[in-house]
Each structure stands twice: as structure tokens, then as C-alpha cells.
Amino acid sequence: MPSVAWPPPTSWPPAPPAPPVPPLPPAVPSTLSRSPLAPSMPAPPAPPLPPVPAAPLPPLTPC
């Protein structure tokens, strides 16, 4: 039974560094209730997608 080399050899490329965490936005005062960052303000609903016409299927032919 061959032995498994673990940890991996050092010739492997190192893992990429973790991306920096973006800073949190400042707390929104209750007076700015119209701000989109306010937790009490729900996100606006997405517009409905236009109906997509179905492509006509070719007639099925027996093999």
C-alpha cells in the first residue's frame, strides 16, 4: 500500500490570501427612514420579467 504524502509538498503553490473584509456601513439614524440602508425600509420589488415566447418545437419523428 503506497504511502500518501500529507501535508502536500512545499512545491505546491500557496493558497491565495483571503480577500479583505469591507468595512461595515455606519449605523443609520432613525431620522433617515427614507435611506435605503435603513433596516426598516424594505427593498423595492423587482420589476416583473417580460413573457418569453416559447420556441416552436420541431415535430417528433420516429427513429
**What's the pLDDT band for 5 if we cut at 50, 70, 90?**
low
CA distance 54 to 22: 43
Amino acid at 2: P
Query: Prior bond to 7 cis, omega within 30?
Result: yes
Alpha helices (runs of H) in the chain, residue ranges in sequence order: none
- The pLDDT-based confidence of 37 (bands split at 50, 70, 90) is low
Query: 21 near 11, Cβ under 8 Å?
Result: no
| Mean pLDDT across 26-45 | 59
| Mean pLDDT (the chain, rounded) | 66
Nearest to 42 by CA among 33, 32, 51: 33
- pLDDT for the residue 2: 62
**Residue % of the chain over a pLDDT of 90:** 0
Rounded distance between C-alpha atoms, residue 7 and residue 29, angstroms: 51
